[in-house]
A and B are shown apart, each in its own frame.
Chain A
Amino acid sequence: MAEQERARRKTREGREGAEEIEETTVAEADTEAVDELLDEIDAVLEENAEEFVRNYVQKGGQ
């Protein structure tokens, strides 16, 4: 296992350098996309979270 693990780590290190720059740009675009997603989700959530959660009781399951 140790040998396989080393081999896996090695490939990983090689990949990481190249991916770093790309990931920064992706991360910025993603922050915007996540903000939009959260706005969209806000619109489908029921208003009273506490009541929503409190009322959900499921007895008699396997």
Chain B
Amino acid sequence: MALRKVLGTETEYGVIIRGQPDFNPALASALVINSYPGDRVRVQWSYEEESPGRDARGFGHEGFGVADPESALVNAVLGNGARLYVDHAHPEYSSPECWDPLEGALYDKVGELVMARAANRAQATLPEGRRLRLYKNNSDGKGNSYGAHENYLLSRETPFGQVIRFLTTFLVTRQVFTGAGKVGSENGRPPVPYQITQRADFFEEVVGLETTLKRPIVNTRDEPHGDPGKYRRLHVIIGDANLSEVQTFLKLGVTALFLSAMEDGALPDPIELADPVKACWQVSHDLELRQPLDLAEGGTATALDIQGRYLEWLAKYAERELDEPVWDRVIDEWEKTLELLETDPSRLADTLDWVAKRRLLEAYVARDGLAWDDPKLRQLDLQYHDVDPASGLYHRLVARGRMRRLFTDQEIARAELQPPEKTRAYFRGRCVSQFREALVAANWDSLVFDIGEPHLKRIPMMEPLRGDRARVGPLLDRVADAAELIEALGG
């Protein structure tokens, strides 16, 4: 049985201060992060290599060396186990490690709330006439892109060559239901009025390590953030940031299912494209969803044909191997989506960002007689992604009941405060809420405490599924402070 697909998302938000043409994006991002009013601790973020823990529950501790002191200025860990920081010139929210795609979609959505609250408070510090805006999208429309990455836990035993052979075609063809929609094209790709994804134009290689230039369809970054002898973390960089809750669920769910089936040997031979990089933008540029893609073995298939085959295989796999209801939900949603994409994509306007946005733009084109290169359409495109509920167009659609949702506002607000319960994010989040004074540094796989002794104390967390509520909840309820916690964990 494949390793559980623990998963999470990391999203760089677009940032601008309107009314201040010379604004500095790195400073604006830092202002956002430091303005977040919620439950959080500013910490140093340690990048150094970890060593395995000694405690039977998966924890250990030891003296701690040097972290990057500068990083504490723009680095916070939240009470829900997420990380909020400045990456390059963008504010970024990395969700906590989640148990399943439904939880993953919830904590991804929490990121928008976190950003909106932070931006709102940052706004109050700005002179009149300046307006700080954040966008959950992936392109400025001028050839600059920023990422919305997904992470999935894989077994170290899975050969990476196998990942590449199976995954490339899957990632290229899933764009039909992962896209957030974009006016125009970029990066030297053929001109189009509108396309399915924000990101496709930027992918130039099939496989590689880069994330900021010559972006590869399959990213080879090998940074497991866990026991390197047991785990890989698959870093998927080709997806769009989605506002639609259903769409994020679908993206994470189908991908996790695909990876499980791949690791279990439940997929027949991989379907390989003759030219994946070309197919990447071809799929995104084809609003009719009829583009034939050349296959390596000869012949052609459309993205929908290929996804239909994956659906057939994975539905059987899920029925045979997986008994949690969430996977039935993934399969049902996927099947319905593929069917409507084939028959009448406009009926997915309440489900997929690219369809919702397209419909909105078409309504403007019809009402105002706009040409597709009118700046107003680019303005609407951008503003669809504005995280401010008052001005974001996605939010306007939600307010009018035009988008399907998976979560209530209350559930999202609760997940801003509480970590997932079945992963190590639980331990991290609880420690932020409970021991904020003592917590001085963090990484995905460790926490470092200052308990007033000569050496700092580090607690490694090399197992993504330990540190969950069942294992550490009672202990955390019992201890009065960080010193007691360290002692209880063995000294």
Chain A contact residues, CB within 8 Å of chain B? 1, 4-5, 8, 12, 33-35, 37-38, 40-41, 44-46, 49-50, 52-53, 55-62
- List 11 additional A-B contacts (Cβ < 8 Å) besides A41-B393, A59-B25: A37-B396, A44-B390, A49-B376, A53-B375, A53-B378, A56-B14, A58-B15, A58-B139, A58-B140, A62-B211, A62-B212
CA distance A33 to B350 in the complex (A): 14
**B459 proximal to A (CB < 8 A):** no
CA distance A60 to B212 in the complex (A): 8
**B410 proximal to A (CB < 8 A):** no
Q: B10: nearest residue on chain A (CB-CB)?
A: A62
Q: For the complex formed, measure the closest distance between the CB of B25 and the CB atoms of chain A, giving whole angstroms.
A: 7
CB contacts (< 8 Å) of A53 on chain B: these are 141, 375, 378-379, 382
Q: B210: nearest residue on chain A (CB-CB)?
A: A62
Q: A5-B308, A34-B363, A53-B141 are in contact. Are A60 and B16 (CB under 8 A)?
A: no
CB contacts (< 8 Å) of A56 on chain B: these are 14, 16, 140-142, 382
Partner of B89, one of A35, A44, A60: A60
* Contact between chains at B378 and A60 (CB < 8 Å): no
CA distance A8 to B139 in the complex (A): 37
* Contact between chains at B363 and A50 (CB < 8 Å): no
CA distance A35 to B391 in the complex (A): 18
Q: Mark B365-400, 1 if CB is under 8 A from A, else 0.
A: 001000000111011101100000011010011001
CB contacts (< 8 Å) of B146 on chain A: these are 58, 61-62
A-B pairs with beta carbons under 8 Å apart, 14 shown: A12-B343, A38-B364, A44-B383, A44-B391, A44-B396, A45-B380, A53-B378, A55-B18, A55-B21, A56-B141, A58-B14, A60-B25, A61-B90, A62-B88
CB contacts (< 8 Å) of A41 on chain B: these are 360, 380, 393, 396
Q: A49-B378, A56-B382, A62-B12 are in contact. Are A37 and B400 (CB under 8 A)?
A: yes
Q: Which of B20-63 contact A (CB under 8 A)?
A: 21, 25
Most A CB atoms within 10 A — which of B87, B305, B383, B390?
A: B383
Task: Assign chain B's interface to a size class.
Answer: 35 or more
Partner of A61, one of B145, B305, B393: B145
* Contact between chains at A59 and B141 (CB < 8 Å): no
* Contact between chains at A45 and B400 (CB < 8 Å): no
CA distance A6 to B187 in the complex (A): 40
Partner of A1, one of B308, B363, B378, B390: B308
Partner of B383, one of A38, A45, A59, A60: A45
* Contact between chains at B16 and A55 (CB < 8 Å): yes
Q: A44-B396, A62-B237 are in contact. Are A57 and B144 (CB under 8 A)?
A: yes
* Contact between chains at B25 and A1 (CB < 8 Å): no
Chain B contact residues, CB within 8 Å of chain A? 12, 14-16, 18, 21, 25, 87-90, 138-142, 144-147, 149, 211-212, 237, 305, 308-309, 312, 339, 343, 360, 363-364, 367, 374-376, 378-380, 382-383, 390-391, 393, 396-397, 400, 402
Q: For the complex formed, measure the closest distance between the CB of A10 and the CB atoms of chain B, giving whole angstroms.
A: 12
* Contact between chains at A62 and B87 (CB < 8 Å): yes
Q: B89: nearest residue on chain A (CB-CB)?
A: A60
CB contacts (< 8 Å) of A8 on chain B: these are 339
CB contacts (< 8 Å) of B363 on chain A: these are 34, 37-38
CB contacts (< 8 Å) of B15 on chain A: these are 58
CB contacts (< 8 Å) of A35 on chain B: these are 367
CB contacts (< 8 Å) of B374 on chain A: these are 49
Partner of A60, one of B88, B308, B309, B402: B88
* Contact between chains at A58 and B90 (CB < 8 Å): yes
